[in-house]
Amino acid sequence: MAELATSPRYRAYLDHLISELDRAMVVAQAAKAKGFDPRTEVEIPIASDLAGRVEALLNYKGVADCIRELEERMSREEASLKIGDAFVSRQFGETTREEILDHAIRASMALLTEGVVAAPTEGIGKVGVKKNDDGSEYLVIYYAGPIRSAGGTAQALSVLVGDYVRRLLNLDRYKPREDEIERYVEEIKQYNGIQSMQYLPKDDDIRLIIRNCPVCIDGEPTEKEEISGYRNLERVETNVVRGGMCLVIAEGIGLKAPKIQKNVAKMHLDGWEWLETLISGTASASDEEEEPGIHPKDKYMRDMLAGRPPFSYPMRKGGFRLQLGRGRNTGFATCGFNPATLHVLDDYLAVGTQMKVERPGKACGVVPCDTIEGPTVRLTSGEILRIDTLEEANKHVDAKEIEYILDVGEMLISYGEFLENNHVLAPPSYCEAWWIQEGGPRHPESEAEAISFVAEGAYLHPNFTWFWDDCTEEQLLFLSDAVAKTASVKDGVLYIPQDPAVKAVLEELLVPHTVENGQYVIKTPLALIAGLGLSYSLEKSATWNTLPPFTNGLAMAAYLSGMKMRSKAGTRIGGRMGRPGKSAPRKMKPPVHVLFPIGESGGMKRSIDNAAKFCNADLSGDMFSGTAVTSGQVEGMIHVETGERKCPSCGAVTFKSRCSCGSHTDAVYRCPRCSTLGLPGEEQCMRCGAPLTCQKDSVMSLRQEYNAALAVTGLAANAIPELKGVRGLISKERVVEPLEKGILRAANEVYVFRDGTVRYDMIDLPLTHFRPAEIAVTVEKLRSIGYTKDMHGAELTSPDQLIELNPQDILVSEDCGEYLVRVATYIDQLLEKLYGLDPFYCAKVPEDLVGQLIMGLAPHTSAGVLARVIGFTKAKAGYAHPFYHAAKRRNCDGDEDCVMLLMDGLVNFSRSFLPSTRGGTMDAPLVLTTTLNPKEVDKETLNVDVMSRYPLAVYEACLTYTPPKNLEKIVDHVENRVGTPEQFEGFSFTHDTQDISAGPLDTMYTNPILKGTTDKIKAELDLADRIRAVETNDLAERIINSHLMPDMIGNLRSFSKQSFRCPRCKTSFRRIPISGKCTKCGAVLKATMHKGNVTKYLEISKYMAEHYQLSEYTNQRIAVTEMNIWSTFGQEEKQQMDLSDFF
């Protein structure tokens, strides 16, 4: 394995992480060896690189060395194909063609997805060989739902790998029948109606793919619906919709055809020439902006959810203004906003909130940046001002003085975002960094000095450049005439008599002014007067006499004034609220403390305390060794289904991993049909061929087990909160967790996840630099863990110095810190009381966890990432280096991940707890990545720019809508540093912010003040009324058509088709029995859909129809839906009232 290029300082940092990991592994292994867990060794293999992750994930011994050798000679995509040669030559022990094909495709996909996601293990159901009508054989790949986590490129390339390997095995290409082709067309469209895919190819494009693809793309049934046409086909094994197949064809081959074509060309593969036809046929539909320039895009406005307001319509005046730059907490799919903007927008955008955006990508995470401009507002006094500080925003918001938001402020977007999304650069709002590079000598002390710089050849400074291009020539002419005729200048202040028409133009220009004594008072009037073509004495200049035609108001103002100006408006970007931020413990539904089955004995709460007191008169069934039973009703005796285990030493049959004699037990597999005992390694019964299972229905003395566990922990039952278990187990071996673990978790108020670990979820946010003052950690503590110098190389002595963040160090939320202290206490108590070992953490307060290792894990992935906690943030999010997030195959556009203490994962995680169903290994740490390598993480992080300022050429390129790839050589970004020591450190940024937690910490969307959807909608519409960039009538219509109406109509349909359930035994009935009672236990059945579910949005819809100007179509749709509802439920009768009702 090639040595990572690092500096000595960074190498020492990595060595420290590995030494701390080794220390934890020694303790964890000692605990596992005690035998209380399903396995006697740590079940999370360690991998230091991509090749190691692939081998650990798939368990193909020797494949890591092969991958390393291939990656030294070729690109990763080429290596993912060439690795098929090794499998065909049976280097890894494969015996059959199916096994060769299966292993080669899975290994290739694991390599393409950085060995992180679960798609290679869960996204491919199986691989098979079938026969064409001419007798030749072809390859068929069965994709499953989790293939979605691989992404379109890896999905498509897995088909290419299948083609490459099947050629080596002399298999023919797939030759589809016509009815099979039409089945694909029908099924993909039906799946899109169910799940709404990212991309839906045209019917003819689907036919083109199926007719020409040399591999048969099949799939497992994933949906509840069956296909409506082309059913019962001979070579298609199911009539149920196959989601995995649809994803690979549409979002894989259909969407990523250009990438497949590149790899086909590199490998010189024939048979894929048809891709050119597919690409040329879809290019016109997918490329919306071939011509220079950009146009409004409203895709982000579709599927509007009630309560999550828009802040700017597409490219609308008053919307977010693009500011080009990267803050230390932006980039990697996050955008910066002035904290004042976040507060003025009613706190809907909190730190970590997701926002759906018009461009350059689809969404972004929201973070504060106080070095960009805030919103411009009109106060109730008529004053127009720009609010740039959170303190000023708080003052005006608290006083309820903000009447109207004329401009929502700037939005900081980095060059890297345009590069990642392959979006042309767009003109940003004119800023001082740009102005200085165009000849601005220094920051002007006054407006007069700024104008004097213009005389020396500079552009007008952005602080005194108004929004001329938002005005028409007619508006400027009107304002110029009004000022010349009625205004006056006294002591450098411009006074204009009040006139609504004049004020409207001033508000278009966003000129700050107050209203005093019936006049508009403008304290910085020089640039305005000059731009209106007036002299200081307010006389019209000679330039008015020879006006040429102008393209916009800015060109007109520049001509009239004789000053060089740039656009202050720049590019406006639309945005609306997406998902709210999150910082909360991971809990199962309902929350439980231990993976211990208690059946129905614990009631709805799954209470082990209640189950231990349960009196069961029926004690028929087998009993485990050591269970003492007396006749009659017995308290605490329950029926459970667990795995059957046998002690190899004393032969006792038990459900525990550790026998009472001290030996570790083994799982026992039997045939459920003929009870034949299976041998180790067998999966099917050798007598009847049925799949072997490890389960036993038996009777357990829960009271006895509970009391014994309490004795081990030294706790009394009344000293802990109510202990909760699970109804049943769904893993293959049905392994039971020791009750002691649940008792200690309950005592510390922490909850278990399905794999035995305790987790905490947070929204992902990026960070490359931090200040000690903002992370609640002292300078001395930071120095003790290796942070001895700031980003400029000076000794770290002050909490206000900026420090560069190491890629595997993270900041967790303060709430997370408090929770992890409780988890650490639980782990220490577990090590002491169950395993008989010394405590590991000894943490009393969050700062005690600084320097401790954690494991990060993203949903839909199977690889944890090693990291170190170095501080805490007030934001409800987790701040970490882009490399750390990319190692989990996540970005920061609203993605959510979890952290767990390293020792918790090493000791408590077991594959034996994972569900045996499809997707069971997703969101589980099947491997741990110890060292981050920029070459081996998600490639999006390579586009993060790391400059302290952009060169002038970047700003000039923005004016001509230049593709960002044209500037890759002049903009320093991570990709340019890969393979050098600078790939990990020496990063910089263009925009600083004083505090990465500044601004709202909780979004208004989750505020308990808004008690329901009706309150949320009214609050959303109230905000929309106050934002210039939003059309309230259109918003109301969108809410109704995209959320409220589909919900009411869908629930009305579901009401007529609903099933009924038993609240006691959970049996479901498609049709209710005549008695109305459960046929199993006699309980009264309950409906699953109620009248309130159908009518809940009717009144608010009618309210919106009454108060807003909706289209006739929408009004009629509301009326028809109301009529359908009352025809189903009957019109509510109006009750007769008497006089007493009015007193």
Spatial contact of 344 and 397, defined as CB atoms under 8 Å apart: yes
pLDDT attached to residue 659: 92
CA distance 463 to 444: 9
Write the single-letter amino acid at 453.
F
- DSSP, collapsed to helix, strand or coil, labels residue 461 as coil
What residues does 863 pair with on adjacent strands? 927
CA distance 654 to 662: 13
CA distance 765 to 301: 24
- Residue in this structure with the two tokens 């020792």, named with its chain if needed: 903
Spatial contact of 240 and 223, defined as CB atoms under 8 Å apart: yes
- DSSP, collapsed to helix, strand or coil, labels residue 268 as coil
CA distance 9 to 375: 43
What residues does 927 pair with on adjacent strands? 863
Number of residues that this document lists for the chain: 1143
pLDDT attached to residue 632: 47
CA distance 606 to 589: 11
pLDDT attached to residue 284: 39
What residues does 127 pair with on adjacent strands? 141
CA distance 656 to 424: 61
CA distance 999 to 60: 50
CA distance 926 to 46: 9
The DSSP output letter for 848 is: G
CA distance 165 to 929: 29
Beta strand 363-368 pairing with 354-357: antiparallel
Q: What is the mean pLDDT of each run of 10 residues along the chain (1143 residues)?
A: 86 97 97 95 93 91 92 88 91 90 93 89 93 95 92 91 93 95 95 89 94 95 90 94 95 91 85 91 47 86 92 97 97 97 97 96 96 97 96 95 97 96 96 95 94 94 96 94 94 95 96 95 95 92 84 92 95 96 93 92 84 65 55 68 90 91 92 85 84 86 91 91 91 94 96 96 97 96 96 96 98 97 98 97 96 95 96 96 95 94 97 89 93 92 96 96 95 95 96 96 94 94 97 96 92 88 84 88 87 91 94 94 88 57 50
230: left (phi over 0), alpha (psi -120 to 50) or beta: left
Beta strand 863-873 pairing with 809-813: parallel
Spatial contact of 1048 and 1128, defined as CB atoms under 8 Å apart: no
CA distance 826 to 829: 5
Contacts of 665 (CB under 8 A, 6+ apart): 645, 646, 647, 648, 654, 656, 657, 658, 659
Measuring CA to CA, how many Å separate 178 from each of 124, 175, 212? 26, 10, 13
CA distance 803 to 1113: 58
CA distance 413 to 943: 13
pTM of the predicted structure, to 2 decimals: 0.92
Reading the block at residue 121, the tokens are 């293990």
Contacts 24+ apart (CB under 8 A), 587-592: 587/751, 587/753, 588/726, 588/751, 588/752, 588/753, 588/754, 590/724, 591/724, 591/751, 592/724, 592/725, 592/726, 592/742, 592/751, 592/752
Q: What is the 3-state secondary structure (H, E, C) of 271-294?
A: CCCHHHHHHHHHHHHHCCCCCCCC
Contacts of 333 (CB under 8 A, 6+ apart): 361, 363, 364, 365, 417, 420, 891, 892, 893, 940
CA distance 244 to 149: 11
- Residue in this structure with the two tokens 């129809």, named with its chain if needed: 1105
Write the single-letter amino acid at 684.
Q
Tell me the backbone φ, ψ of residue 416, rounded to 5 degrees: -60, -30
CA distance 762 to 204: 43
Of 252, 354, 289, nearest in space to 890 by CA: 354
Specify the CATH number of the domain 760-938: 2.40.40
The DSSP output letter for 694 is: -
- DSSP, collapsed to helix, strand or coil, labels residue 890 as coil
- DSSP, collapsed to helix, strand or coil, labels residue 696 as strand
In terms of C-beta density within 10 A (0-12 exposed, 13-18 middle, 19 or more buried), how is residue 1133 classed? Answer: exposed
Instruction: Report the b/e string of 1105-1121 with b at 16+ CB within 10 A.
Output: beebebeeebbebbeeb
Reading the block at residue 125, the tokens are 């159901």
pLDDT attached to residue 920: 86
Reading the block at residue 1076, the tokens are 């109305």
Tell me the backbone φ, ψ of residue 877, rounded to 5 degrees: -160, 170
For the chain, domain boundaries: 43-286, 297-427+572-580+939-1028, 436-569, 608-632+639-747, 760-938, 1031-1129
Cα 428 versus chain centre, distance: 27
CA distance 99 to 87: 9
Spatial contact of 208 and 122, defined as CB atoms under 8 Å apart: no
pLDDT attached to residue 266: 81
Reported in sequence order, the residue ranges of 432-522 that DSSP labels E, i.e. its strands, are: 488-490, 493-497, 514-516, 519-522
pLDDT attached to residue 1138: 58
In terms of C-beta density within 10 A (0-12 exposed, 13-18 middle, 19 or more buried), how is residue 33 classed? Answer: middle
**Strand ordering across the sheet containing 637-642:** 622-623, 696-701, 637-642
In terms of C-beta density within 10 A (0-12 exposed, 13-18 middle, 19 or more buried), how is residue 71 classed? Answer: buried
Reading the block at residue 1038, the tokens are 């969108």
